[in-house]
Amino acid sequence: MIVVRWVGAAMVTALLLLWTACGETYRPVANPVIPNQPNPAFTHVVMVISDNGTNNPGASTTIDVSGDSATSQSQTGLGPVHAALVGGTQVFVGNSLEDTVSTFSVASPAPVVTISLPSSCGTPPCSMPVFVGSSETATVYVANLKSNTVSAISTAGLVVTNNITVGTSPVALAETSDAQKVYVANQGANGSGCCWRPCFSAGAAPSASRDCRIIAASSPCWATPWTEATAS
């Protein structure tokens, strides 16, 4: 009986030791680390251009798509007609009645920088910008209806770096996704499209005979890049 009691006491002691040990054992807990989520206002926005007559500045309103609400409004120049969102952060607005382009950040309505386009005639508009577009982040292109040119603007310096003569009355343009060609829809008398390889970084305008090709069309009014998937 004594032996049985000793064995029973030993078992109870062992169980107590095991129970105590389990209570003191460290068990690491993995808590997921959730990164900061991006602000949808910076990636899902709609820009609305508003004209305010021929004598008053226009406006550009930023709408947050996620909340369907207007988040900011920036003042543009006279006769704003078209805008482009470059790099998802910077807005460029063509002001057709004063030969300028207004640019500002999507995140803030101010400051608004005004970029002057070539204006060689007596009374503006001389260039008459009607379309702004780009598929890259370094350069934005502006189609000038009255001067029959396309202006290249550096997004870093916010200055015009080149002006290229295209067809008659350019009304729209599209740059390919690889930033190698820009197609311009010219709605003038010839009804043609023109394209060239951008070489503005070299500081020299493309040669019309070498880089500008006329593509027959019937009074084109729009141009847009289109990517098709191909099966391998």
Q: Measured between alpha carbons, how far is 104 from 106 in angstroms, rounded to an integer?
A: 7
**Consecutive sets of 10 residues in the chain, 232 residues long: mean pLDDT of each?**
60 62 59 60 71 87 78 88 88 93 88 90 86 90 91 92 86 83 76 46 38 49 48 42
First to last CA, the chain: 85
Helix, strand, coil abundance in the chain, percent, nearest 5: 15, 40, 45
Please say whether the dihedral angle defined by the alpha carbons of residues 102, 104, 110 and 113, taken in this order, is positive or negative: negative
Q: Which helix (H) or strand (E) holds 69?
A: strand 69-78
CA atoms of 144 and 63, how far apart (whole Å) = 27
Which pLDDT does position 112 carry in this prediction? 92
Top-level CATH class of 79-216?
Answer: mainly beta
Query: What pTM was computed for the model?
Result: 0.68
Where are the chain's structural domains? 79-216
